[in-house]
Every structure is written in structure tokens, then in C-alpha cells.
């Protein structure tokens, strides 16, 4: 399943694991990404809490977890090539997590589109 957060992250779930990435909308607003700060493998995630940040030429934006769980993989490529997020954000995951609980506030693609229109 594919979900979206109000913090402009996408979440692809498959049973108890999830990939988490930045939405196209967020990447467009940020502009060219120049640095990514991601958690270490094994770190715990708490829904609604910061787990890293993305720095662009315009600003620094916190990454807010949409799940409770544990980081099981970090996209190491982003540490050397953060700009690939700007090129294709819907395909570039930031972290993979073992999920214990998914935030109640996540949206479907339709709901997310409506949410973006209200901004």
C-alpha cells in the first residue's frame, strides 16, 4: 500500500516493512537537495517525531516519521548523491523500517492531492 503524510513523505508498506521517501510536492518546494541527514540502522522511530532532515539550496526541512518502528536500512547512495531525490523523489526511498505501528493520519493519494490543494 502507498500512503502519504501531512509532512510530505510517502510510505510504501509491505506487511511489517516500509520504505519512506520524500513526495514530489516536497521535493519541488525544496528545490535542489544538497544534503541528507538520516538515522542509523537500528535506531527507533516514533510516529510524529523527527528522524532526520533534508537540506536544499533554499532551506532545511525536518523529516517526521509516519511510523513507530526500527530503521532496518538507510539509502547510503543519498549520503554521497543527495541530488537524486530532486530528480525522482517518488522513486527514491530514504529509509526502510520494520513497522510496529502506522500513524493514523496517513492519507491515500486522492486524500493527499486534496490536502495539497488546501495549502
pLDDT of residue 58: 87
Q: Is the pTM of this model over 0.85?
A: yes
Distance, CA of 68 to CA of 100 (rounded, Å): 5
- Summarised one tens digit per residue, pLDDT across range 53-104 is 999 988 999 999 999 999 999 999 999 999 999 999 999 999 999 999 998 8
pLDDT at position 68, please?
97
Rounded to a whole number of angstroms, the distance between the first and last alpha carbons of the chain is 25
| Mean pLDDT value across residues 12-40 | 95
Domains of the chain from N-terminus onward: 2-113 (2.40.50.100)
Confidence of residue 39 (pLDDT cuts 50, 70, 90): very high
Amino acid at each position: 500500500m502507498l500512503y502519504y503524510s501531512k509532512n510530505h513523505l510517502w510510505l510504501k508498506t509491505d506487511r511489517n516493512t516500509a520504505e519512506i521517501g520524500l513526495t514530489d510536492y516536497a521535493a519541488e518546494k525544496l528545490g535542489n537537495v544538497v544534503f541528507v541527514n538520516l538515522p542509523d540502522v537500528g535506531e527507533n522511530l516514533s510516529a510524529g517525531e523527527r528522524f532526520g532532515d533534508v537540506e536544499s539550496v533554499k532551506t532545511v526541512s525536518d523529516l517526521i516519521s509516519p511510523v513507530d518502528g526500527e530503521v532496518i536500512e538507510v539509502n547510503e547512495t543519498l549520503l554521497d548523491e543527495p541530488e537524486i531525490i530532486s530528480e525522482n523523489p517518488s522513486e527514491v526511498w530514504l529509509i526502510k523500517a520494520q513497522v510496529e505501528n502506522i500513524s493514523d493520519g496517513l492519507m491515500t493519494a486522492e486524500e493527499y492531492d486534496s490536502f495539497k490543494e488546501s495549502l
